[in-house]
Amino acid sequence: MPSEGTTVLEANALCLRFGAVETLKSVSLSVERGEIHAVIGPNGAGKSSLLNCLSGFYRPQSGAVRFLGKDISSLPPHKRAALGISRTFQGIQTYPSMTARENILSGFHLRMSTGPFAALVWWGPTRREEEEFAARAEKIIEFLELEQLRHTPVGDMSYGMRKRVDLGRAIALEPSVLIMDEPMAGMSNEEKEDLARFILDIREGLGIPVVLVEHDMEVVMSISDRVTVIDFGEVIACGTPDEVRTHPAVIDAYLGDAA
Ligand SMILES: Nc1ncnc2c1ncn2[C@@H]1O[C@H](COP(=O)(O)OP(=O)(O)OP(=O)(O)O)[C@@H](O)[C@H]1O
């Protein structure tokens, strides 16, 4: 883990174009240890594109992404994930026929030091890893209060619980940072409250900083330490929820009457 006060994940002057569309125009963002950092902005502002640049799904034409001070701009998504950059996506990423426990266990595969070949010829370490992962999966099940649903196929669960299993898969890797794209979309108020509590617990209890794109302003303003506002591919404000809420450019661009 990084030492106190260090930047965990950093985007520096990212420029991203799709043909004639300038999606990100020199966007910078830093995610500090111990913070929940929200990225907000109107539809089409470039929020998901920024997350995709951080996790490696999009390659910006210029600018750099750094993780714990190291330039990771050229790394593909799976290598960034293996370094400790975890991500949840819009919608559901879990396997519906697998149970909650099996889905969470599937999140460990990136950290498996022994591949399938080693498993065939060298049984010992694989077995030990499996036991270790099973124990860790149990901890995640308890952490996310999924005990009752441990052996339930995810396809039989409510949307909110499926998203919770999805989150379990993302934190199974014990990441150094968690990226979440619109985690509250499609959730009831009760489900949102539960998820907000777990996001706070992930920051507090597990010490994992979180960067999230979220449209629900009530959630953003209540759980975030810092908020970056993007409009038309540019950062127009960055600060605490109170600073952002009262920022004239933000009021103009996005929050309007809701501020
Ligand atoms: N793969 C792509 N190909 C072409 N254009 C893209 C691609 N990804 C994003 N864009 C464009 O980049 C711009 C920003 O899109 P993005 O999804 O990042 O915005 P957003 O702020 O996340 O929007 P929303 O809140 O509606 O999800 C849009 O004009 C979009 O059409």
With beta carbons less than 8 A apart as the criterion, state whether 55 and 80 touch: yes
**148, 188: one domain:** no
Residue 137 resides in a domain: yes
| Ligand 1 pocket list (CB less than 6 A) | 18, 21, 23, 41, 43-49
- 66 pLDDT band (50/70/90 cuts)? very high
Largest CA distance in the chain: 65
Q: Report in angstroms the alpha-carbon separations of 94 from 141, 148, 202.
A: 15, 18, 19
Residue 91 resides in a domain: no
- 123 pLDDT band (50/70/90 cuts)? low
- 257 pLDDT band (50/70/90 cuts)? very low
Report, as an integer, the average pLDDT of 18-35: 96
**Pocket probe mutation, ligand 1, options 49, 52, 184, 235, max atoms within 8 Å of Cβ:** 49
Last residue of a domain, one of 145, 173, 201: 173
- 191 pLDDT band (50/70/90 cuts)? very high
> Residue 103 is encoded by which pair of tokens?
């889905």
> Residue 256's pLDDT is what?
52
- 173 pLDDT band (50/70/90 cuts)? confident
**Pocket probe mutation, ligand 1, options 23, 214, 231, max atoms within 8 Å of Cβ:** 23
- Element at 205 (helix H, strand E): none
Residue 107 resides in a domain: yes
Q: Amino acid letter at 142? A: E
Total domain count, the chain? 2
CA of 48 to the centre of ligand 1 (A): 7
CA of 81 to the centre of ligand 1 (A): 22
User: Residue of the nearest CA to atom 4 in ligand 1?
Assistant: 18
**45, 13: one domain:** yes
Report, as an integer, the average pLDDT of 45-61: 97
Residue 67 resides in a domain: yes
- In the predicted structure, residue 115 carries a pLDDT above the cut 80: no
- 125 pLDDT band (50/70/90 cuts)? low
**184, 162: one domain:** no
Helix axes 159-172, 123-143, angle to 10 degrees: 140
User: Distance between CA atoms of 2 and 69, rounded to whole angstroms?
Assistant: 10
**202, 138: one domain:** no
- 2 pLDDT band (50/70/90 cuts)? very low
> Residue 91's pLDDT is what?
76
> Residue 12 is encoded by which pair of tokens?
């520096």
Task: List the one residue out of 202, 105, 95 whose CA is nearest residue 157.
Answer: 95
**Pocket probe mutation, ligand 1, options 14, 21, 39, max atoms within 8 Å of Cβ:** 21
CA of 241 to the centre of ligand 1 (A): 24
Residue range(s) defining the domain that contains residue 104: 96-173
CA of 16 to the centre of ligand 1 (A): 11
Residue 151 resides in a domain: yes
User: Distance between CA atoms of 49 and 16, rounded to whole angstroms?
Assistant: 8
Ligand 1 atom closest to the Cα of residue 50 is: 18
CA of 132 to the centre of ligand 1 (A): 40
**148, 224: one domain:** no
CA of 163 to the centre of ligand 1 (A): 23
Share of the chain above pLDDT 90, in %: 75
User: Residue of the nearest CA to atom 6 in ligand 1?
Assistant: 18
**36, 3: one domain:** yes
User: Residue of the nearest CA to atom 1 in ligand 1?
Assistant: 18
Q: Is 207 in a helix, a strand, or coil?
A: coil
Q: What is the DSSP string of 149-179?
A: GTTSBGGGS-HHHHHHHHHHHHHHT--SEEE
CA of 166 to the centre of ligand 1 (A): 23
Domain of residue 253, CATH code: 3.40.50.300
CA of 94 to the centre of ligand 1 (A): 24
> Residue 14 is encoded by which pair of tokens?
């990212």
Tens of pLDDT, residues 160-169: 999 999 999 9
- Element at 209 (helix H, strand E): none
